[in-house]
Chain A
Amino acid sequence: MATNVLAMPRTYARTGLWSWITTVDHKRIGILYLVTAVAFFIIGGIEALIIRSQLAVPANTLVSPSFYNEIFTMHGTTMVFLAIMPLNSGFGNYFVPLMIGARDMAFPRLNALGYWLFLFGGILLYSSFFLGGAPSAGWFGYAPLTERAYSPTYGIDFWILSLQLLGISSITGGLNFIVTTLNLRAPGMTINRLPLFVWGTLVTSLLAIFAIPSISVALFLLLFDRHFGTSFYLPSAEGDPLLWQHLFWFFGHPEVYIMIMPPFGIISEVLATHSRKPIFGYAAMAFAFAGIAFVSFTVWAHHMFATGISPVADAIFSGMSFVVAVPTGIKIFNWLGTIWKGSIRLTTAFLFAAGFIGQFTIGGLGGVMLATVPVDWQITDTYFVVGHFHYTLFAGAALGLFAGAYHWFPKITGRFLNERLGKIHFWLTMVGMTMVFLTMHYVGVLGMPRRIYTYAPGQGWDLWNLIETIGAFTIALGVLIFVLNILTSLRQKATVGDDPWDGQTLEWATSSPPPVYNFASMIPVNSPRPLWDAKYGPHSEFADNPKKIELSGGGKAQIHLPNPSYWPMVVAFGMSVISIGIIFGADTNWLILPVGIIIFFAGIIGWLAQPAS
């Protein structure tokens, strides 16, 4: 559109609450995602501490069994859907456009909708505590325990509907990342030059849009069973509980990679930057992302080895699970290759990334043990599994996200996080997580099942459980220091320059924090690390005297930006009211539902009527 050239910067508010409610700027939405997700991460962490306090000693009566079950259900659901996934979305929103040299995401208002659905979905889930009881059937929600006969409160309904909202949020986010990455790359930023974080986010988004519909369907069938008299999962009327497990894990296993792949990307960036080396085996790394993603759709029944599916199926899913280990191994060795003979600066970001390699390896090896079917028959549903997946999701995803936080905080805020506090945070995390999660493997081998609210003394588990609990509080202390670090850093002046880490990718080629339009002009892109090329030359890899090139300023007045809009929030709010209407509709009355529908359509109409820019 020719008129765009003449478009002037908008004169809307750039500060204050209203500016955040109406924002469509990918960086602000990224910050909203990050801040909200950290809040949920802390809530999920407090739930973990409640779990660990209850299990600290045998035959403990700190909490009731039903409350314990609510808490472990909420811990799992929160960490997966309200902490790790949105933290990935937060970094993705902030950095994917910057790293590919774009001015925003492809669909800024859809992006805002994704955030508001996440926020309202989380609030909806937590409101269940005050509206009749939280869900208590585990984050995996196996039918028929989730059917009304066994879970009569509204908890499961809140869980179903909030996961639907979060699912829509993830699908819109996924589509947005895909379109942005495919269409808005700067000249020269070809697909095979994408920074690995962008590549990881792209692959994750593809996983999300194919995997999430499976759980959406599963949840709707469950909702129908609970409220409208169907019996998809009820064997008493020809339904089958295993249908739930297939649908859930067809989502649930790719979900593991949805959580872990963006952190894979983050640590790839961090390791390369802080050791001044390119990614070792870039192409193999990119293919490994794609390979893991593809194979992740063919391993779901390894969660079901004990369900009585046929031995042939067991064997096939076991074999495919071993196949996943190969690209995962490639990644680990390539990360080692990346820091090999590098010039390593031991920043907190680097420490967390290196810790990721060391600890995630344990998660991967535990995964191989679990894919060994007869061993799985013994250790599945024990604390071995709990230890294993925390080594992938805490040691993996969370350590990667911490690495990203220390690495990118200067870019987002213009301020460094305190390195001394960061290192304390790192070591507390390493010691704490080893105490909790390594010990869990062992106590699982000693036969302690998971999801039990108590255990009898004298089974050889007591000491280990106490150690785990102390470890959990050690991690919590680390997180507390991390939060204090953020708060104190924010009170300092923004003095960080454009490129504090001697970065390689485009986000370091603009100011910290970046202007609303990201880049006034673009440097040429000839490799996955255009800024490095610009500083040191693409072929002067042995240069002793690096020369930085000046990035030219641009004509801000001509940069075209989307309108701020509160309509995405209205639409998301309408969908939340619809959800509440459905939860209470069948039992009490259907009055809330039409209110929600009206808000929803009002939002849609307002959205359509408002010019995009």
Chain B
Amino acid sequence: MRSLWSKWGRLCAVLITSLTLFALAGCQSTQNILAPFSPAAAETAQLFYFVFIIAVFIFVLVEGLLVFFVLRYQRRAENEHPEQYHGNTKLEVTWTVIPALILVVVFALTIRTMGQVGPTNPPGQGIPIRVIGHQWWWEVQYNDGKVKYATDIHIPAGQVVNVELTSDNVIHSFWVPSIMGKTDVVPGHTNKTWLLSSDLGTYSGQCAEFCGDQHANMRFKVIVQSPTDYAAWLKSVEAPPAEPAPGSLAAQGKEMVLNPKYLCIGCHTIDGTNAVGVTGPNLTHVASRTCIAGCLLDFNHANLVKWLSNPQAVKPGTLMRINPLTPDEINAITAYLETLK
């Protein structure tokens, strides 16, 4: 009996070690669903492991029998004739009932976990935000739409954030692997999900439903901040950005941006100016964002220059279509955008 237990113990140890290695190998990955940073993702990862271990046992059983039979029962003589077993009722009932029972257990755990992590079952009412899927970037609205932001979703640690998901174009899917599973963003429907994490940090998210040419580059970030940092950030984006100093390069840039001939204002909004377009992201506080172009590029000077030089080359198919700009124009516009904190 004892040796049997130690055998099982060893087997379990091997299994757990390999599972740990399996998870660790993915630690460098920013979207590993088995490296959770929220209660919901952790519960889901646990359920994943549970079903996975059952699957591994069944897999080993089937493959073991298969390989054993194939090796053991090879034909040794041309006229060899095996016994003609047509079936075995007891055996057949066994391998019907046992899997069925296992599945009942998995189903029960599924229902229980759905109650804990379901997008329509938030653990409470907290901060309401809206997330809107566009081709191919994410808009985020705070304060009932008064603050319009993009690609970065700031949330306070330890507080429930209730997310309302909408789209006015095609279907997208909202997914932050480390924090929360997917909820599709379906035009004509208002889907809901929630985010809750206590682990400060920046977590990568990505559109998970095919939505056209640049589906691959429709990414976003969830930034979990301490409640005070979050409050400070929210305050900064509620206020209008500082005006560029008169005569500065940035001021020239602002003139260009607001000049219809540069096409910017057709698609972008900058609060307090005549830029009121709604096709592209709201740029009022673009310089406080960590990334641009659906998080294809980090927000920095070099990337802004790269992006403005030829958006179609950087992100083929993007709806941002502008006339070619001279390096001077790009410098001025970039200088202005960098003041929009």
The 8 A CB mask of B49-88 against A (1 = contact, 0 = none) is 0011001001100110111011001111001111111111
Binds B, one of A256-264, A333-341, A566-574: A333-341
Given contacts A318-B110, A372-B51, A377-B44, whether A235 and B188 have CB atoms under 8 Å apart is: yes
Partner of A341, one of B34, B82, B183, B187: B82
A138 CA to B212 CA, complexed, in Å: 10
Say if the beta carbon of B266 comes within 8 Å of chain A.
Answer: no
Task: Judge if A461 is at the interface, Cβ distance under 8 Å.
Answer: yes
Q: Is A369 an interface residue (CB 8 A)?
A: yes
The segment out of B147-155, B213-221, B247-255 that lies at the interface is B213-221
A322 touches B106 (CB 8 A): yes
Once the chains are docked, how many angstroms separate the CA of A235 from the CA of B43? 35
Q: Do B206 and A343 touch across chains, with their CB atoms under 8 A apart?
A: no
Whole-angstrom distance from the CB of A518 to the nearest CB of chain B?
Answer: 28
Q: Across the interface, do A373 and B81 meet the contact criterion of CB distance under 8 Å?
A: no
Q: Confirm or deny: A280 has a beta carbon within 8 angstroms of a beta carbon on chain B.
A: yes
Q: Are B29 and A460 in contact (CB under 8 A)?
A: yes
Least Cβ–Cβ distance between B110 and chain A, in angstroms: 5
B177: chain A residues at CB < 8 Å are 378, 447
Among A142, A334, A342, A461, which residue has its beta carbon within 8 angstroms of that of B82? A342
Q: In the complex, what residues of B have CB within 8 A of residue A380's CB?
A: 182, 208
Q: Does B48 contact A (CB under 8 A)?
A: yes
Instruction: Let me know if B239 is at the binding interface, CB within 8 A.
Output: no
Q: Are B83 and A546 in contact (CB under 8 A)?
A: no
Task: Tell me the minimal C-beta distance from A275 to chain B in angstroms.
Answer: 7
Complex: how many Å from CA A7 to CA B87?
46
Q: In the assembly, what is the distance between CA of A281 and CA of B181, in Å?
A: 41
Residues in A with CB closer than 8 Å to B41 are 378
Nearest-Cβ distance from residue A230 to partner chain B, whole angstroms: 15
Which listed residue (A279, A281, A318, A332) contacts B62, Cβ 8 A? A332
Which B residues are CB-close (under 8 A) to A369? 48, 51-52, 55
**Contact present for B170 and A344 (CB under 8 Å):** no
A284 touching B92 in the complex, CB below 8 Å, given contacts A445-B26, A447-B177: yes
Residues of A within 8 A of B4 (CB): none
Q: Mark A142-156, 1 if CB is under 8 A from B, else 0.
A: 101100001000000
Which residue on chain B has the smallest CB distance to residue A64?
B316
B103 interface residue per 8 A CB criterion: yes
- A446: which B residues are within 8 A, CB to CB? 26, 29, 31-33
Contact A374:B73 (CB < 8 A) given known A145-B211, A308-B183, A544-B79:
no
A459 touches B29 (CB 8 A): yes
Which residues of chain A in 117-155 are interfacial with respect to chain B, using CB atoms and an 8 Å cutoff? 137-138, 142, 144-145, 150
Q: How far is the CB of A353 from chain B (nearest CB, A)?
A: 10
> Chain B interface: which of A18-26, A77-85, A239-247, A427-435?
A239-247
Contacts of A66 in B (CB 8 A): 213, 316-317
**Segment at the interface with A among B5-13, B94-102, B270-278, B281-289:** B94-102
Is A449 at the interface (CB under 8 A from chain B)? yes
In chain B, what residue has the closest Cβ to A453? B216
A343 touches B44 (CB 8 A): no
Whether the Cβ atoms of A374 and B110 lie closer than 8 Å is: yes
* Cross-chain contact B182 with A339 (CB below 8 angstroms): no
Instruction: Tell me the residues in window 427-471 of chain A with beta carbons closer than 8 Å to chain B beta carbons.
Output: 442, 445-455, 458-461
Asked if residues A137 and B85 are in contact (CB atoms below 8 Å), the reply is no
Q: Are A344 and B74 in contact (CB under 8 A)?
A: yes
Q: Mark out the residues of chain A between 150 and 182 whose CB falls within 8 Å of any chain B CB in the assembled complex.
A: 150
CB-CB under 8 A from B65, the residues of chain A are 336
Alpha-carbon gap, A284 to B316, bound state (A) = 55
Instruction: Determine, out of B111-119, B303-311, B323-331, the stretch whose residues face the partner at the interface.
Output: B111-119
| Chain A contacts for B25, CB-based, 8 A | 460
- Verify if B107 is at the interface (C-beta below 8 Å from A): yes
Q: Is A365 interfacial (CB 8 A cutoff)?
A: yes
B110 touches A536 (CB 8 A): no
Q: Are the C-beta atoms of A241 and B181 separated by less than 8 Å?
A: no
Chain B interfacial residues counted at CB < 8 A = 93
Q: Which residues of B contact A310 (CB under 8 A)?
A: 120
| B234 interfacial by beta-carbon distance below 8 Å | no
With A336-B66, A445-B34, A460-B32 as contacts: A381 and B182 at CB distance below 8 Å: yes
Complex: chain B residue closest to A380, CB-CB: B182
Residues of A within 8 A of B26 (CB): 442, 445-446, 460
State in angstroms the CA–CA spacing of A442 and B117 once bound together.
Answer: 23
Once the chains bind, are B216 and A455 in contact (CB under 8 Å)?
Answer: yes
B28 at the interface (CB under 8 A from A): yes
B104: min CB distance to chain A, Å: 8
How distant is the Cα of A64 from the Cα of B316 in the complex, in angstroms?
8
Contact across chains for B209 and A374 when beta carbons are under 8 A apart? no
Given contacts A66-B316, A329-B96, contact A361 B86 (CB under 8 A): no
Within 8 A of B (CB), among A347-398: 354, 357-358, 361-362, 365-366, 368-369, 371-382
Q: With an 8 A cutoff between CB atoms, is B279 at the interface? A: no
**In whole Å, how far is B317's beta carbon from the nearest beta carbon of chain A?**
6
Q: Would you call B207 an interface residue if the criterion is a C-beta within 8 Å of the partner chain's C-beta atoms?
A: yes
Residues of A within 8 A of B114 (CB): 311, 314-315, 373-374
Complex contact B87–A337 (CB within 8 A): yes
Instruction: Tell me the smallest distance from the CB of A79 to a CB of chain B, in Å.
Output: 17
The reply to whether A306 and B181 contact each other, CB–CB distance below 8 Å, is yes
Interface string of A278-321 (1 = CB under 8 A from B): 11111110000000000000000000001110110011001100
At the interface, yes or no: B226 with Cβ under 8 Å from chain A? no
Q: Quick check: A374 and B113 within 8 Å, CB to CB?
A: yes
**Which 7 pairs, one residue from A and one from B, show the smallest C-beta to C-beta distance?**
A447-B31, A235-B188, A377-B181, A460-B29, A452-B216, A308-B191, A365-B55
15 CB-based A-B contacts, threshold 8 Å: A66-B317, A137-B210, A144-B187, A307-B186, A307-B191, A315-B110, A336-B65, A337-B88, A337-B91, A357-B62, A362-B59, A372-B48, A379-B33, A445-B34, A454-B216
**Apart from A65-B316, A315-B110, A545-B79: 19 A-B pairs, beta carbons within 8 A:** A145-B171, A150-B135, A276-B81, A307-B184, A308-B191, A314-B114, A323-B103, A326-B100, A354-B66, A358-B66, A368-B51, A368-B55, A373-B114, A374-B110, A375-B48, A377-B183, A378-B44, A380-B182, A541-B84
